[in-house]
Amino acid sequence: MDQVRALTGHERNKDVGMRRFPIGKTGKRTSVCFTHHRRVSPGLHRTIQKRWFPKYRVVKKQGGCSSRAIGSRVDQQLLEYARTGRIPKRPNKYTKIAIDFFRKNKIKLQEGQVMIASDEKGFATAIDLIGVRTEGVTRPQFFLIEIKTGYSVGATRSQGTLAAPLDKVPNTQQAHHQLQLLTMDELLQREYRVTVHRAIVLYLQEDARTKKVTAFAAPYPEWCRTRGQRRAIWDAM
């Protein structure tokens, strides 16, 4: 698909990178930062947090939530699947459910962890997955996909509202995920000239009692459903 090649092979992306650095007293844990124009660039989450929910306090995940290690493993396995088209050996149960979702919905993954950057807003980030749908449609559809692995514990728990002009939107983790998604959507359409036909947050959730994993694709909510709304949010950043 031309739009996939236009994005993954964009000249700007050659200047976007990612660095890992140790954190904590032991240095065993690591975090990442992005670089753009050979300078450290703020990531997307930090950018939207500063603008829309600066006082939000992250509630520590409680028992039953997937660890960061599991989420990282799922990301790597889905990246492998996107690049090879083959199910990885010994796939995580979250990975299996995600692949089943993509196959059922005729979404063919093309690439993952695609680094992009905004000259206008000054941030860099990485897209979890991009995919296309060609079956049952008159024209190929480009999918922008963010993966969230784990339980929905606390995801809808509100800490007031987002900053104005979104001060009627509850300040929840789910709202943060949608802000992340719509900002990448607008970046691709404005600065990369890539038309995004569908943008979804794919939640992979495990029931605490039954341990059954389900996949739920969250489309844009009412407060950012139209392109005009998303444009206004981008402009207000």
pLDDT tens digits along 17-26: 777 666 666 6
- CATH classification at residue 151: 3.90.320
Least reliable range by pLDDT among 17-21, 39-43, 139-143: 17-21
In a domain, 7, yes or no: no
pTM: 0.88
Assess whether pLDDT exceeds 70 at residue 182.
yes
| 72 belongs to a structural domain | yes
Look at residue 184 and tell me if it is in a domain: yes
User: Does residue 225 lie within any of the structural domains?
Assistant: yes
Q: Per the domain annotation, does 15 fall within a domain?
A: no
Mean pLDDT, the chain, as a whole number? 88
What mean pLDDT is predicted for residues 201-214? 90
Which residues fall within 8 angstroms of residue 16, CB to CB, at 6 or more apart?
A: 34, 35, 36, 41, 115, 116, 117, 124
Residue 233 in this model has a pLDDT that exceeds 90: yes
The residue range of the domain holding 76 is 44-235
pLDDT band at 62 (very low <50, low <70, confident <90, very high): very low
Residues in CB range of 196: below 8 A, 6 or more apart: 142, 143, 144, 185, 188, 189
- Is 27 contained in some domain? no
Q: Is residue 22 part of a domain?
A: no
Rounded to 10 deg, the angle between the 44-52 and 173-191 helix axes is 120
Domain total for the chain? 1
At 64, the pLDDT band (50, 70, 90 cuts) reads: very low
Band of the pLDDT at 29, cuts 50, 70, 90?
A: low
pLDDT in tens, 100-130: 999 999 999 999 999 999 999 999 999 999 9
